[in-house]
């Protein structure tokens, strides 16, 4: 099976990743081949691997699609209302600027300490059983 860009390794720390088809087919794929099923969730579409160092971006926003088509480095484009473009992974920042990927939640060490303290208080104050 040809290799593809591992989105989890490359962008998983910064952006939210989703499973293709909401993970319905994940169990049918071998663990090593599941990188094909990951997508970068964006406000105006998704980005997913095509093979090798190529990625594809999909949007159903015609104005965003027209701007995607006009980007330098786009290898192929298809569709009118729903646009899919193929591009090299090195061009991904320009695509990110248009599709606006959803950022992964980042918790600072202070926030993490407060959350852990709140969780520990909540479990101690919880009633054990009904009389």
Mean pLDDT of 41-61: 94
Please give the residue range of the domain that contains residue 96: 7-123
Which two tokens mark 8? 């989890």
In this structure, is residue 45 part of a structural domain?
yes
**Residue 1 maps to a domain:** no
**How many Å apart are CA 9 and CA 14, to the nearest integer?**
10
* Cα 44 from Cα 63, distance rounded (Å): 10
Within a domain: residue 2? no
**Per-residue pLDDT for 86 more than 80?**
yes
- Return the DSSP state at 71: S
The verdict on residue 65 lying in a domain is yes
Enter the pTM of the model. 0.74
Mean pLDDT of 52-59: 94
How many domains is the chain built from?
1
């Amino acid at each position: 099976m040809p290799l593809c860009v591992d989105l989890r390794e490359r962008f998983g720390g910064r952006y939210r990743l989703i499973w293709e088809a909401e993970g319905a087919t994940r169990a049918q794929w071998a663990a090593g081949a599941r990188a094909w099923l990951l997508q970068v969730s964006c406000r105006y579409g998704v980005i997913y691997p095509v093979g090798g160092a190529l990625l594809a971006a999909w949007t159903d926003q015609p104005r965003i699609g027209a701007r995607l088509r006009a980007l330098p480095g786009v290898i192929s484009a298809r569709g009118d209302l729903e646009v899919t473009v193929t591009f090299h992974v090195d061009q991904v920042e320009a695509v990110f600027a248009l599709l606006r990927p959803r950022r992964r939640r980042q918790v600072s060490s202070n926030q993490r300490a407060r959350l852990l303290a709140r969780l520990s208080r909540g479990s101690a104050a919880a009633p054990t059983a009904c009389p």
